[in-house]
Amino acid sequence: MSKLVWLRNDLRVVDNTALLQACQYRQASEPVIALYIATPMQWHEHHEAPIKIDFIQRRLVELRQSLAALNIPLIVKEVADFAAVPACILALTQQYQVGHVFCNKQYLINENQRDLRVGEQLASHSIKLSVFDDDCIIEPGRVLNKQGDPFKVFTPFRKTWVRVYHDQVASRGVPLVQPAPEAITDIDARDDDVIDDRSRSFVTADLHSPSALHFSYPVTNSIDWAVDDEAIRQRLLTFCYEKAMNYHANRDYPAIDGTSCLSPYLAIGALSLRQCFHTLMTEYPECLENPESGAFTWFNELVWREFYRHLMDAHPKLCREAPFHDWTKFVRWQNDENHLRAWQQGETGFPIVDAAMRQLKATGWMHNRLRMIVASFLTKDLLIHWQAGEQWFMSHLIDGDMASNNGGWQWAASTGTDAQPYFRVFNPTIQGQRFDPKGEFVRKWIKELKDVPDKFIHSPHLWLGAHTLSYPRPIVDHKQARLLAIETFKRANEQG
């Protein structure tokens, strides 16, 4: 019987629990097969970005090679949506005489339901499905407060996370990062009797070309992001060796290359969070005891990622488009379509907002400080529902990730747990002056402002030469918009 590893958001061979377990469970002469199922209709529903899908396609081609070196063929299938997945897997289990399917858990509702249906379908044919917790360093449900409930506030979550982590290391003694499985050597990968179309690893003919994959989904080029294991490893090492120590000082300045830019790899699981944490701890073993350090600050961000995943798991309503705080359902959003369009296109007249939005459109990535600024601007200055921003981000980000994106948007919109209080509204001009003081980032993305003196770069409409600029005036008055936002949230709070 064969073992089937169903890959989803874990496109890697190193530190992949399901893959390792499949290889460990196999008996002599049993093949291990890997499977990836593309679901374009589902991706449309989830607003997946074309650049992210291109990135996945390229990563799968790379992964096929890494798996082939382990003597594990990769089958890539395309079906419409999650509903079609159980039948697809069942057919493959019959085609390849699979007795046991392995995968890593995703902590989202649609994905969970899909897995339940797959499990039922397989069970009715006496095929086992094993699902592993792999996406977090500490799995959801294990970081709890004294009452045994999930945390709603980040700092106590992080403190308990550290305690649980130390306990886990002491009691389990498992290495933090698992190596790639050893290559299978007791079967011949070219033996057509073992797997009949093994030579055609990408079995669905219309997806297949020797060096590329083409799913039925629009794509935009992600070539600026290398997808090979060595490049990803080097990016992580370079960050930890050269940048982590100054992360706390540099991370808020978009003109400085001060963050890791690893989020796209984490989003598709080309890299695990454990690999990030392990590399950090190897380089800075004392970092958890030194909260002032750059390394600790980076660690803190890694734990934010865990926090949002634990929240999603504990509060499924977050997957169902609900705010964390019910009273925020009463906020009377203005949802002005012209304002939304101006925000999306980077035409609001607030340079730091516009530069960030143009960066997102052009590259599929945005700096964290800028994500906070543009999200605050949309939800407070423009009083547009955070879901409009969440969706726009998801459909443009190469690192689009449901848990982190939802968490980030609800944080900025003051609808989430441990969010920015609603009465604290970012001033986009001051944010620009503080975090892009010379306007380097703004000038890079807004060519119209290249001649504006530094003093006016974040308020070009006040410059004497403003009439020469082909750049919009601010679409709202921040002072008034701020007061209106606070009043609107206050009223909603009283109502709720």
Tell me which residues touch ligand FAD (CB under 6 A): 251, 259-263, 266-267, 301-302, 304-305, 308, 368, 371-372, 375, 393, 397, 399-401, 404-405, 407-409, 412
- The active-site residue, picked from 6, 43, 225, 304, is 304
Tokens standing for 211?
A: 């060096």
CA 377 to CA 353: how far, in whole Å?
8
Closest to ligand FAD by CB, 215 or 253: 253
In the complex, least distance from residue 243 CB atom to ligand FAD, rounded to whole angstroms: 9
- The active-site residue, picked from 112, 300, 333, 347, is 333
Closest to ligand FAD by CB, 342 or 375: 375
- The active-site residue, picked from 283, 301, 347, 448, is 301
Intra-chain end-to-end CA distance of the chain, in Å: 58
386 assigned to active site: yes
327 assigned to active site: no
Closest to ligand FAD by CB, 299 or 489: 299
- The active-site residue, picked from 225, 298, 386, 411, is 386
In the complex, least distance from residue 400 CB atom to ligand FAD, rounded to whole angstroms: 5
CB of 450 closer than 8 Å to CB of 345 = no
In the complex, least distance from residue 446 CB atom to ligand FAD, rounded to whole angstroms: 21
Closest to ligand FAD by CB, 207 or 262: 262
What does DSSP assign to residue 241?
A: I
Amino acid at 295: A
Pairs from 317-326 (Cβ < 8 Å, separation ≥ 24): 318/406, 318/410, 319/108, 319/109, 319/110, 319/402, 320/109, 321/387, 323/386, 323/410, 323/413, 323/415, 323/416, 324/410, 324/415, 324/416, 324/417, 324/419, 325/415, 325/416, 325/417, 325/419, 325/496, 326/496
298 assigned to active site: no
Closest to ligand FAD by CB, 21 or 414: 414
Cite the DSSP H helix spans in 324-400. 337-345, 351-363, 368-376, 386-394
In the complex, least distance from residue 30 CB atom to ligand FAD, rounded to whole angstroms: 36
CB of 397 closer than 8 Å to CB of 366 = yes
- The active-site residue, picked from 298, 392, 409, 411, is 409
Phi/psi at 5 (5° precision): -105, 115
In the complex, least distance from residue 1 CB atom to ligand FAD, rounded to whole angstroms: 37
409 assigned to active site: yes
304 assigned to active site: yes
Tokens standing for 352?
A: 């730091």
The CB-nearest residue to ligand FAD is: 408
In the complex, least distance from residue 170 CB atom to ligand FAD, rounded to whole angstroms: 25
301 assigned to active site: yes
Residue 10's nearest CA partner among 302, 227, 268, 278 is 268
Closest to ligand FAD by CB, 70 or 375: 375
Give catalytic residue positions: 301, 304, 333, 368, 386, 409
